[in-house]
Chains A and B, each alone.
Chain A
Amino acid sequence: MTVLTKEIQQQQASIYREYVMELCNLDVYYGNFHAVRDVNMKIESNKITALIGPSGCGKSTVLRCMNRMNDLVKNSRVEGEVLFQGFDLYDARIDPVQVRQRIGMVFQKPNPFPKSIFDNVAYGLRLLGERNRDVLHHVVEQSLKRAALWDEVKGNLKRSGLSLSGGQQQRLCIARTIAIKPEVILMDEPCSALDPIATLKIEDLMRELKEEYTIVIVTHNMQQAARVSDYTAFMMMGEGLDGEIDESRAGELAEFDRTDIIFNNPSNQRTSDYIKGRFG
């Protein structure tokens, strides 16, 4: 366990100003199943980092490790370090509740609460104990504007969040997440349940949001990764002894580089095969 003295903290904070998160030798187990093996990557601030790869390779698992959502999965175990501004998120002294406030998450399926639009966006602030109506109104309006939803819902914020369309619901979830001003936003296939137009809106939104936030996105859609991300990590099930792909093996990080390099000039053969659609 790392001992974090103040000096080390400051030192690390200066080093990681550019890299807001760093995964070091990350291994994840579900019970006896080794899900992810030895992932090392650095997440640069104010950039969009995409995780791509075939189903079951552990992309979502890695993403959920970044704000300790994996804690909610029974029998899950994490080894290695997930550093956020120099702090190891899996340090025993770190409170996962605080982690999730600073590192927000948007899920695959839009999951607004069965409450009004206003209450959905104000949810995070109310958790923190904010009761002032003016403050709440201000933040709700700002967040909905940032999430490009304000113009569509400003007439009636009392409507149920569930009455919105799928794309609107997902933007509501993004508004809800940015309302508590996290530093990093994790997105787990945020567009997989949406139609192409709603997807484009979310992608535009992501490009705007990266001015203020660092975004990590898991996606099945390679074009999407190519369109929006600055960095791309390609994950892959490990190879067996005979060199064949073995789905029962742990997922590994096959290649991690700038998006244009991954898509145009990958150094790994399997990355190239996957990008060109030879498998997956």
Chain B
Amino acid sequence: MSRKSTVNFSNNVDLNQKLAKRRWKSQVGRFFFRMTLIASLLALLMLAYNILNRAFTTVAIEDTVNPTELSEIPLAELEKAELLLILGDYLSSNQLRILIFERILGAPREDWSDLNTQTLSAIIEVGQYPEDWGTMLVSELEPQQILALLGQGLSQELLVSIVEEKVVEERVVQVWTLTETVFNWQGIEAQVATLYPTTRLEFRFWLNTDFLMTAMHSQPELSGLRTAILGSLWLMTITAAFAFPVGVSAALYLEEYAADTPMNRIIQLNIANLAGVPSIIYGILGLIVFVRAMGFLTNGRTILSAGLTLGLLILPIIIISTQEAIRAVPTSLRQASYGMGATRWQMIYTVLFPKALPGILTGTILSLSRAFGETAPLIVVGSITRITADPQGPLSRFTAIPIQIYTWTAQPQDAFRSAAAAAILVLVVTLLVFNSVAIILRNRYS
């Protein structure tokens, strides 16, 4: 901060006074600008602190059934037969049947009632069980028979995990944030000793592979982000596939073909304004146009409708950034191409487009990252907040990462805040990757 002492080599008093004043003004300016920078950095730090504080937590876990009641030795070391016995003791025959559908067949929930009414030979190949069982209806199977089937179809590790999930049934009863864990560990232990004597404490980072790989669940500790991640990926695919070609073509037309007429200037002005329209307005537009009017094509509240809506949302941004990239191509290159006898289209695809492409891609990626975090239009277009089935294609119902965050933060259970924090981390890291790619593209090629 300290300024080098200066030698006064001018005798002009007037000039010296003015110099001091000018110096002082620039000092004030520097101080003010530095403060604003520090303030915004502080705000960012607070955000990061809040998220990380929730993503790293201490949890008190209670088992519905204590594993020591099930066996003397750890569950993982038990034989298949012993595990099957435990399952038979604690689960109803209906729950056991569901295990067949879920774990052996991998069938989605809506098919279970159908499967119940079929014969065993129709769903599992003969040879894994005595032949006379083949003609039995699935709903008529005895618990012993089901257990035999489970033993035949599943490995020991899978059975262990089933016992842990269905019998032991870990439940998170309370969550303490990272700060509490670090500064008030004794307090937590005391609280646990008095309130939940049967629980054990565990340190937990919520953003783990299980979180990324499992679907939505009504229990926060069993909830995952897979459905939302897949939903967001589908959305981005559709959005990019729609907005990129349309936006780039529109920009090319406006820059290279359109004459400078009042009409075209009005269109240009409107595009610039559309870029500033609140996203929820686009949501309403999407609801009316894609969900209602074009429902026969888009199947209503589907990924397709939402993707097209987000596409409309970022279309003006793509058009504007593409126009800027096109304008940045030096006139000398256009002239060189035209001077060689190129037609307009030849000039565009041999010179203009290759030269402008990095800029176009940068703009597209940045606008996609905006669409990635958009929530309001998705709510209006109608994403589902509780959905466990992965999206199967553009015509299925969906949820997305920001929607999941929004839903989880509105849940009463405290543990859902931690799930939301983990989801926010996923979102922020993805956005960082998007933007880094854009910056690299811009610096390397343009």
Using known A-B contacts A74-B260, A113-B351, A114-B355, determine if residue A123 contacts B340 with beta carbons closer than 8 Å.
yes
Contact of B341 with A100 in the complex, beta carbons under 8 Å: yes
A105 to B346, CA, bound (A): 18
Per-residue contact bits, chain A 63-83, to B (CB 8 Å; 1 contact, 0 not)? 000010100101000000000
Per-residue contact bits, chain B 323-364, to A (CB 8 Å; 1 contact, 0 not)? 000000010111111111111001000110011000000000
Using known A-B contacts A111-B333, A113-B351, determine if residue A69 contacts B342 with beta carbons closer than 8 Å.
no
Contact of A97 with B336 in the complex, beta carbons under 8 Å: no
- Asked if A168 is at the interface of the complex by the 8 Å CB criterion, the answer is no
Using known A-B contacts A113-B351, A114-B355, A127-B346, determine if residue A177 contacts B340 with beta carbons closer than 8 Å.
yes
- B: which residues have CB within 8 A of A? 260, 330, 332-343, 346, 350-351, 354-355
Contact of B351 with A97 in the complex, beta carbons under 8 Å: no
List, in ascending order, chain A residues with CB within 8 A of B336's CB.
107, 111-113, 173
Q: Which of A155-195 contact B (CB under 8 A)?
A: 173, 176-177, 180
Interface size class of A (residues with CB under 8 A): 20 to 34
A100 to B342, CA, bound (A): 8
User: B344's closest neighbor in chain A, by CB?
Assistant: A97
A69 to B335, CA, bound (A): 8
A180 to B342, CA, bound (A): 12
Contact of B335 with A124 in the complex, beta carbons under 8 Å: no
User: A173's closest neighbor in chain B, by CB?
Assistant: B336
- A: which residues have CB within 8 A of B? 67, 69, 72, 74, 97-98, 100-101, 104-105, 107, 109, 111-114, 123-124, 126-128, 173, 176-177, 180
A126 to B354, CA, bound (A): 16
Contact of A124 with B341 in the complex, beta carbons under 8 Å: yes
Using known A-B contacts A74-B260, A104-B340, A180-B341, determine if residue A123 contacts B350 with beta carbons closer than 8 Å.
yes
Contact of B332 with A107 in the complex, beta carbons under 8 Å: yes
Contact of B333 with A113 in the complex, beta carbons under 8 Å: yes
User: A120's closest neighbor in chain B, by CB?
Assistant: B336
A-B contact pairs, 24 of them (CB 8 A): A67-B339, A69-B335, A69-B339, A72-B335, A97-B343, A100-B339, A100-B341, A107-B336, A107-B339, A109-B332, A111-B336, A113-B337, A114-B333, A114-B355, A123-B340, A123-B350, A124-B341, A126-B350, A127-B342, A127-B343, A127-B346, A173-B336, A176-B340, A177-B339
Which of A101, A107, A113, A114 is within 8 Å of B341, CB to CB?
A: A101
Which of A72, A74, A127 is within 8 Å of B340, CB to CB?
A: A127
**Most A CB within 10 A of own CB, among B260, B332, B334:** B332
List, in ascending order, chain B residues with CB within 8 A of A107's CB.
332, 335-336, 339
List, in ascending order, chain A residues with CB within 8 A of B333's CB.
111, 113-114
A11 to B339, CA, bound (A): 29
A177 to B341, CA, bound (A): 10
List, in ascending order, chain B residues with CB within 8 A of A111's CB.
330, 332-333, 335-336
CB distance from A84 to the nearest CB of B (A): 14
Q: What are the 5 tightest A-B residue pairs by CB atom distance, in nearest-first order?
A: A101-B341, A111-B332, A105-B339, A100-B341, A111-B336
List, in ascending order, chain A residues with CB within 8 A of B354's CB.
114
**Most A CB within 10 A of own CB, among B335, B336, B338, B341:** B341
List, in ascending order, chain A residues with CB within 8 A of B340's CB.
100-101, 104, 123-124, 127, 176-177, 180
A257 to B354, CA, bound (A): 46
List, in ascending order, chain B residues with CB within 8 A of A100's CB.
338-341
Which of A72, A113, A128, A177 is within 8 Å of B338, CB to CB?
A: A72
List, in ascending order, chain A residues with CB within 8 A of B341's CB.
97-98, 100-101, 124, 127-128, 180
A231 to B341, CA, bound (A): 27
A72 to B354, CA, bound (A): 21
A100 to B354, CA, bound (A): 23
List, in ascending order, chain B residues with CB within 8 A of A176's CB.
340
CB distance from B283 to the nearest CB of A (A): 40
User: B334's closest neighbor in chain A, by CB?
Assistant: A72
User: A182's closest neighbor in chain B, by CB?
Assistant: B341
A114 to B337, CA, bound (A): 12
CB distance from A184 to the nearest CB of B (A): 12
User: B347's closest neighbor in chain A, by CB?
Assistant: A127
User: B346's closest neighbor in chain A, by CB?
Assistant: A127
